[in-house]
Structure 1
Amino acid sequence: MGEHSAQEEKRDETSVGKDRARIKNASFVLLVAHIQDAVDFYEGIGFTTEDIGGHIHVSHGGATFILHEAANPSDIRPCSSAEGGVYFDAFCYTDKQGLRQLYDLFIANHIEIARGPIWSEGWSELTIRDNNGYCIAFGA
């Protein structure tokens, strides 16, 4: 009887794993100095804008940044600027063709390329810096 209940327990764990919720997209809050300047920046690189009231959502595919104006601009501290931090504040995945198109768009709009581009067969990547100092990486 003890063996049977252990098997049932294992089956229950397996079925829970198969049926659990899957996260499809994520949103990240970016504190910004001036909301309209940030909106203009992201619209300039192909993001769409939605005014939610109190803050603005800028989206491109599955990536959404929630722009929220900081009460004090000194509160804007991108993780990428912290000593020992990673080189990006958000990472966006695309395909190879999309990455090339984004790169061309960034160059045409004089967007600062903070890192890369790194082009290779297996993995390609580049990182831009927005007008509030956030580093957004794009990879394929």
Structure 2
Amino acid sequence: EGEHPFTLIVTDPAGNASDPSDPYTIIVDTTAPVAPVITSVFDNQGAVTGNLAAGDTTDDAQPQISGTAEPGSTLIIYDNGVEIGRETVAADGTWTHLPVPVLDNGSHVLTVEAMDAAGNVSPPSDPFGFELISGGVA
């Protein structure tokens, strides 16, 4: 794990050595990010708006999904186990996603995973489930 700088020194037959080259650094990263967190699913459509609680029913086919994850990682958003989008996690560890296309009527269970620059993927977040009663209309 970590940075590994490599340099070269050339030595001629007489034993004269060159100055070291500029370092070429590789980073070994075999550790996956910790599981990201879905902190809110926000309904901003219809008569009742605000943050949903797990298990709620909504009429918003495009709720704003937000949370936290490893800064700079790529967040992968799943609905019922199917990828619905990706976002880059901000330097402060926050992310937001607005589903496009809009979600369909029915039950939805959201989970997210974080993938770091080395391709290591986190465990999934805890699931967040809700019911949509008017899908297809944003």
Q: Decide: shared fold, TM above 0.5.
A: no
User: Relative contact order (C-alpha < 8 Å, sep 6+): which is higher?
Assistant: 2
**Whose strand proportion is higher, 1 or 2?**
2
**Whose helix proportion is higher, 1 or 2?**
1
Larger Rg: 2
TM-score tier after normalising by the smaller chain length: under 0.3
Normalising by structure 1, what TM-score? 0.26
